[in-house]
Amino acid sequence: MCGIVGFTGRREAAPILLEGLARLEYRGYDSAGLVTSTGRQLHLRKKAGRLAELRKLVAAHPAPGCHGISHTRWATHGGATDRNAHPHLSHDLRIAVVHNGVIENYATLKHQLLADGVIFRSDTDTEVLCHLIARYYHGDLLSAVGAALALVKGTYGLAVMARDEPGVIVGARLGSPLVIGIGPDGHYLASDAAALAGFAEKVVYLDDRQLCQLDESSYVIRNPDCDAIDVPVHDIALFLGDGDRDRGEFPHYMLKEIYEQPEALANAMRGRLDSADCTAHFGGLNLTAQQLRQIDRVIMTACGTSYHAALVGEYLFEELARLPVEVEYASEFRYRNPPIDRNTVVLAITQSGETADTLAALRESKRMGHTTLAICNVVGSSIAREADGGVYLHAGPEIGVASTKAFTAQVCTLAMLALYFGRMRHLSSLHGQRIIHDLQALPDMVRRTLACHETVKEIAAKYAEAKNVLYLGRQYLYPVALEGALKLKEISYIHAEGYPAAEMKHGPIALVDAQTPSVFLVPRGHVFDKVMSNMQEIKARGGPIIAIASAGDADVAAVADDVIPVPDVPEYLQPIITAVPLQLLAYEIAVLCGCDVDKPRNLAKSVTVE
């Protein structure tokens, strides 16, 4: 996901912009740039690669001025090059733009601008915005931005400056977050409040189709009709999340976040388990007991790791709440038109709260009149604000691009929701009490699971050269097989696939050979014997086996080449326990492969484009 930081005030802008971008680095990007202004002159500095490259450029060629905008870009249209980095300037060098999102009709607009003789300097869709704004600019930047955006189809979070309006920044938002920061030194504009920590004291979130204009001493927000509107002001502390952003003694954020899982789970459950009524409570569902009782079907929609959490949620809701669940990839769901009856609730699951496909699926569900809920980690994010109600994970900032603590916190939250819905229907207080007891033991169980780390390191060294890995599990652990494969793929770039263990016989077993290890999720449970049979089938074909198994399980040890022990927990909580060794295995293999674990190639922490 791209990052935007702007500042106008009484301090040099460049250092503020660079520090703000540094706080958004974890999202993943491939180029960075900034533009500042002094008097009637714009100072543009931009560079492909990491932020350090931009810092070197600015050190060598300072960008003076107390007014500027900046950007980290994750390439959509056009490669990761200096010329494609933002900011972009209009042909007359009067307008500078940074942009998050995608201009879907940019080709048509570019064609018209080329026909008018405009010279393009980049391959990006964003550049058309600069030239359009310049076309409508006659001294009023906000009006020119509004006029240009009227021609645009697509999504944007924008920050715009004009050479002839020193000190003014205009912002606009449609589908990509934008927040105004209010601080003692001036005003800020950013794509995420995290960039403004320590600078701004208050924040104001823009909603879609709103524009804003800032200068060092004031700001105004306007609706699509350009009428000034009042928007609530919040303390920035509300949106910085609990948990710190420092890596501490860990070599990578991802490892820190793996080890934070006991605490993240405790935070997710804090104040929500009710032993007296043997149920769970949530402050933000915003639905009456009557409305919740009427729900007779749930559609869970998400992307990536959050989709895998949703798949676990399907098993949890079916078993504990006896509610039928359908899990949909958000990118598919948003364009399908499934018949949905009116007592269906759509539950969006997302760490960032800004994933474009998940946001679009939520909006489509709302447009059709369905009740929408969200499970989200980032307070104040778009999905959190647009859902009718929801549950925050309170897992703290997740900086590593590969999601870890958010996944286990999502599954834990889904278990609590299943308890809540179940206790409204058929679950007895005795059963509810037992579930609460199991959940309360989770942080300690995960802490005990982390003791497998040394074993995982040894196993990682054996298989770091693998080119293909299979992940296999059944029932609650089938989604964890998918998640384990995704973890390995996204940070070590080794191809991996997750399957229901029984599916091997229907084709994938043809892949098995001595160079293709299979990771089996095989703790004791009601399908243990079936999974053991699947392991034997792989063994018989010479495939190496890594087993995630109940500690001390001699039957598994007799078949598997390597065993990673986990403590015994009830089956419905095994997804949380077994995910931990898979996270560590992917991490240790990626480190051995020399990969950038926290910022894997081609990936962004939050995918805010389609």
- The SS3 of residue 528 is helix
- In whole angstroms, give the CA distance from residue 274 to residue 439: 12
- The SS3 of residue 221 is strand
Beta strands in 49-122 (DSSP E): 67-73, 88-89, 95-100
Residue 416, amino acid: M
403 binds ligand AGP, rule: CB under 6 A: yes
Question: Rounded to the nearest 5°, which phi and psi values hold at 190?
Answer: -150, 165
Contact of 168 with 214, CB cutoff 8 Å: yes
- Minimal distance, residue 351 CB to ligand AGP, in Å: 4
| Helix residue ranges, H only, 220-339 | 253-259, 261-269, 289-294, 304-316, 330-333
Contact region with ligand AGP (CB under 6 A), list: 133-141, 195-203, 396-404, 439-447: 396-404
- In whole angstroms, give the CA distance from residue 572 to residue 64: 58
| DSSP-assigned letter for residue 438 | H
Identity of the residue, 304 or 523, whose beta carbon is nearer to ligand AGP in the bound complex: 304
Residue 37, amino acid: S
* Contact mark string toward ligand AGP, 477..506, x via CB under 6 A: -------------x----------------
Contact region with ligand AGP (CB under 6 A), list: 4-12, 54-62, 400-408, 573-581: 400-408
Tokens encoding 110: 């570019």
Q: How many chain residues interact with ligand AGP (CB under 6 A)? A: 15
Identity of the residue, 141 or 300, whose beta carbon is nearer to ligand AGP in the bound complex: 300
> Could you tell me how far CA 119 lies from the centroid of its own chain?
37
362 binds ligand AGP, rule: CB under 6 A: no
Identity of the residue, 306 or 408, whose beta carbon is nearer to ligand AGP in the bound complex: 306
Contact region with ligand AGP (CB under 6 A), list: 29-37, 345-353, 362-370, 462-470: 345-353
The continuous run of DSSP H or E covering 568 comes out as none
Tokens encoding 443: 């942080």
- Minimal distance, residue 390 CB to ligand AGP, in Å: 13
66 is catalytic: no
- In whole angstroms, give the CA distance from residue 321 to residue 293: 11
2 is catalytic: yes
- In whole angstroms, give the CA distance from residue 190 to residue 11: 17
155 binds ligand AGP, rule: CB under 6 A: no
Identity of the residue, 304 or 484, whose beta carbon is nearer to ligand AGP in the bound complex: 304
- The SS3 of residue 328 is strand
The CB density around residue 602, as the number of other CB atoms within 10 Å, is: 10
> Could you tell me how far CA 85 lies from the centroid of its own chain?
23
401 binds ligand AGP, rule: CB under 6 A: yes
Between residue 578 and residue 607, which ones bind ligand AGP under the rule CB under 6 A? 606-607
352 binds ligand AGP, rule: CB under 6 A: yes
Between residue 43 and residue 72, which ones bind ligand AGP under the rule CB under 6 A? none
Between residue 285 and residue 304, which ones bind ligand AGP under the rule CB under 6 A? 303-304
**Catalytic: which of 46, 256, 405, 605?**
605
Identity of the residue, 176 or 403, whose beta carbon is nearer to ligand AGP in the bound complex: 403
Identity of the residue, 148 or 303, whose beta carbon is nearer to ligand AGP in the bound complex: 303
Contact region with ligand AGP (CB under 6 A), list: 131-139, 350-358, 432-440, 547-555: 350-358
381 binds ligand AGP, rule: CB under 6 A: no
Tokens encoding 333: 């769901």
Helix, strand, coil % (nearest 5) of the chain? Answer: 40, 25, 35
Contact region with ligand AGP (CB under 6 A), list: 9-17, 399-407, 473-481, 509-517: 399-407
- Minimal distance, residue 484 CB to ligand AGP, in Å: 11
Among 213, 306, 574, 583, interactor with ligand AGP by CB under 6 A: 306
| DSSP-assigned letter for residue 319 | I
- In whole angstroms, give the CA distance from residue 4 to residue 20: 8
Tokens encoding 40: 């009637």
Contact region with ligand AGP (CB under 6 A), list: 97-105, 395-403, 552-560, 562-570: 395-403
The continuous run of DSSP H or E covering 435 comes out as helix 429-440
- Minimal distance, residue 515 CB to ligand AGP, in Å: 26
**Catalytic: which of 2, 278, 376, 412?**
2
Identity of the residue, 172 or 469, whose beta carbon is nearer to ligand AGP in the bound complex: 469
402 binds ligand AGP, rule: CB under 6 A: yes
The CB density around residue 379, as the number of other CB atoms within 10 Å, is: 18
Identity of the residue, 178 or 402, whose beta carbon is nearer to ligand AGP in the bound complex: 402
* Residue of 589, 596, 608, 558 lying closest to 49 (CA atoms): 596
Q: Are strands 325-329 and 297-302 parallel, antiparallel or unpaired?
A: parallel
Tokens encoding 104: 């879907």
Contact region with ligand AGP (CB under 6 A), list: 154-162, 171-179, 265-273, 401-409: 401-409
305 binds ligand AGP, rule: CB under 6 A: yes
- Minimal distance, residue 28 CB to ligand AGP, in Å: 9
350 binds ligand AGP, rule: CB under 6 A: yes
Tokens encoding 452: 């497998």
- Minimal distance, residue 606 CB to ligand AGP, in Å: 5
Q: How many CA atoms lie within 13 A of 170 on its CB side?
A: 28
The CB density around residue 248, as the number of other CB atoms within 10 Å, is: 10
Between residue 21 and residue 40, which ones bind ligand AGP under the rule CB under 6 A? none
| DSSP-assigned letter for residue 227 | -
Between residue 252 and residue 291, which ones bind ligand AGP under the rule CB under 6 A? none
Q: Which residue is nearest to ligand AGP (CB)?
A: 304
Identity of the residue, 165 or 354, whose beta carbon is nearer to ligand AGP in the bound complex: 354
- In whole angstroms, give the CA distance from residue 84 to residue 88: 8
Residues with catalytic function: 2, 605
Give me the residues that bind ligand AGP (CB under 6 A), please: 303-306, 350-352, 355, 358, 401-403, 490, 606-607
